[in-house]
């Protein structure tokens, strides 16, 4: 029998064999598996934000398959306590169908509930941190199961304490606080508001928001679809750079005839700009790369895709080439969004 590889468990379909693979389908089995495993340990759920080396993983991979959702009402809000292995998008679909607002703009994101706090998943103006009311975690530093307040998770743009200290935390369950409302919260993402025919800042019916988000995402290859080769990716490969005012002014200076780089003010006074804008103006077009290996998606400059015969080495090489091109053209450092396992950056 062929040795199983982690490519079978990642959306990029990349990654060599693990030394050992354990499946955990209950919370207690998950805690026991992680406690007993020797280092190194890799937690893997949907495999949609992982880039795993061609050599595989020289330790124990714990594959999370826990299930269960408990619902209760508290202080006018609906609390959903959800096991880590529950798939994310069906949870969003259920919330929307039940008239619960808070996660509708996060429709169509692949992966698991337990991974959603790891990089504080976000899309179309919403971030999951805004609805997380609590987390149950295993802290591998002390081996204890703990209930964490959301403040302890240090949520930031595509980041959290869990992502910043890899290997320490296992998210066992997440509690979301949703509001019973027919309309979504204010829609701040211009492209989404336009698609729904509302002004930015207005709300729209939950089901319509979900459908509009799914439509926009499909157009960018950002919904996993076996019929869409552009969805064989880890989503956006680079985060949007956040620059201080001086660095943003330098970027504007270097942009010259390319026009003004997109400018999204952050609450801390810094400025977020668009990685896709920088990549496109550094000469990388959709489809760039190897049509039978690793190439930029034909629908979205930010996604690197495996066209079937790619390798992780080839993927990381293309990512480095793009980052070097952007560094040379604009002096801005791009950082990968997915978690690299067995590969170094830059």
Ligand X SMILES: Cc1cc2nc3c(=O)[nH]c(=O)nc-3n(C[C@H](O)[C@H](O)[C@H](O)COP(=O)(O)OP(=O)(O)OC[C@H]3O[C@@H](n4cnc5c(N)ncnc54)[C@H](O)[C@@H]3O)c2cc1C
| Residues acting as catalytic residues | 158, 236, 337
Q: Can you list the positions of beta strands (E) in the chain?
A: 18-24, 41-44, 50-52, 57-64, 69-74, 77-83, 100-101, 122-123, 126-127, 132-139, 144-148, 169-180, 233-236, 242-243, 264-265, 271-272, 294-296, 303-306, 339-341
Q: Does 224 bind ligand X (CB under 6 A)?
A: yes
In the complex with ligand X, the residue whose CB is nearer, 49 or 240, is 49
User: Nearest distance from residue 162's CB to ligand X, in Å?
Assistant: 6
Three-state secondary-structure class, residue 78 = strand
Q: Is 247 exposed, middle or buried (0-12, 13-18, 19+ CB in 10 A)?
A: middle
Write out the binding residues for ligand X, residues 83-142 only, by CB under 6 A. Answer: 84, 109-112, 114-116, 118-119, 121-123
- Residues in CB range of 35: below 8 A, 6 or more apart: 138, 143
User: Nearest distance from residue 270's CB to ligand X, in Å?
Assistant: 20
> Binders of ligand X: how many residues, by CB under 6 A?
35
Nearest to 73 by CA among 185, 150, 182, 180: 180
Q: Does 46 bind ligand X (CB under 6 A)?
A: yes
- Binding segment for ligand X (CB under 6 A), chosen from 37-45, 140-148, 191-199, 311-319, is 37-45
In the complex with ligand X, the residue whose CB is nearer, 41 or 100, is 41
CA distances from 238 to 216, 277, 317 (A): 19, 12, 14
In the complex with ligand X, the residue whose CB is nearer, 11 or 131, is 11
Nearest to 221 by CA among 42, 12, 6, 54: 12
User: Nearest distance from residue 321's CB to ligand X, in Å?
Assistant: 21
In the complex with ligand X, the residue whose CB is nearer, 224 or 251, is 224
- Binding segment for ligand X (CB under 6 A), chosen from 21-29, 143-151, 231-239, 257-265, is 231-239
Token pair for 21:
């693979």
Conformational region of residue 283, where left means phi above 0, alpha means psi within -120 to 50, and beta covers everything else: left
In the complex with ligand X, the residue whose CB is nearer, 135 or 206, is 135
Q: Does 231 bind ligand X (CB under 6 A)?
A: yes
Q: Does 235 bind ligand X (CB under 6 A)?
A: yes
Number of residues written out for the chain: 346
How many CB atoms lie under 10 A from the CB of residue 215?
A: 14
User: Given candidates 49, 239, 297, 312, which one binds ligand X under the rule CB under 6 A?
Assistant: 49
CA distance 297 to 307: 9
Binding mask 62-81 for ligand X (x = CB under 6 A): --x-----------------
Q: Does 187 bind ligand X (CB under 6 A)?
A: no
In the complex with ligand X, the residue whose CB is nearer, 169 or 248, is 169
Q: Does 312 bind ligand X (CB under 6 A)?
A: no
Chain residues in the site for ligand X (CB under 6 A): 11, 42-50, 64, 84, 109-112, 114-116, 118-119, 121-123, 162, 169-171, 222, 224, 231, 233-235, 339
């Amino acid at each position: 029998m062929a040795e199983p590889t982690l490519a079978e468990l990642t959306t990029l379909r990349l990654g060599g064999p693990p030394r050992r693979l354990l499946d955990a389908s209950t919370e207690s089995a998950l805690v026991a598996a992680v406690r007993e495993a020797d280092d190194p340990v890799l937690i893997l759920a949907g495999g949609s934000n992982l880039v795993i080396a061609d050599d595989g993983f020289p330790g124990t991979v714990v594959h999370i398959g826990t299930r269960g959702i408990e619902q209760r009402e508290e202080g006018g809000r609906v609390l959903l306590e959800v096991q880590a292995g529950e798939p994310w998008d069906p949870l969003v679909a259920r919330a929307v169908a039940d008239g619960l607002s808070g996660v509708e703009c996060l429709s169509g994101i692949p992966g698991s509930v337990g991974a959603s706090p790891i990089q504080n998943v976000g899309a179309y103006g919403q971030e999951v941190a805004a609805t997380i009311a609590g987390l149950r975690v295993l802290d591998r530093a002390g081996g204890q199961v703990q209930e964490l307040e959301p403040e302890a998770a240090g949520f930031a743009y595509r980041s959290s304490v869990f992502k910043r200290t890899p290997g320490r935390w296992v998210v066992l369950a997440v509690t979301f606080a949703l509001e019973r409302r027919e309309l979504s919260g204010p829609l701040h993402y211009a492209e989404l508001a336009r698609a729904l025919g509302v002004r930015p800042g207005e709300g729209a019916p939950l089901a319509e928001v979900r459908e509009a988000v799914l439509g926009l995402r499909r157009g960018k290859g950002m919904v996993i679809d076996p019929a869409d080769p552009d969805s064989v990716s880890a989503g956006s490969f680079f985060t949007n750079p956040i620059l201080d005012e001086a660095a943003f002014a330098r970027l504007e200076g270097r942009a010259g005839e390319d026009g003004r780089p997109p400018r999204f003010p952050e609450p801390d006074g810094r400025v977020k700009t668009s990685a896709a804008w920088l990549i496109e103006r550094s000469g990388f077009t959709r489809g760039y790369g190897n049509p039978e290996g690793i190439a930029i998606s034909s629908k979205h400059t930010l996604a690197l895709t495996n066209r079937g015969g790619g390798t992780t080495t080839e993927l990381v090489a293309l990512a480095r080439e793009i980052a070097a091109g952007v560094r040379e053209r604009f002096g801005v450092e791009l950082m990968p969004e997915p978690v690299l396992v067995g590969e170094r950056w830059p």
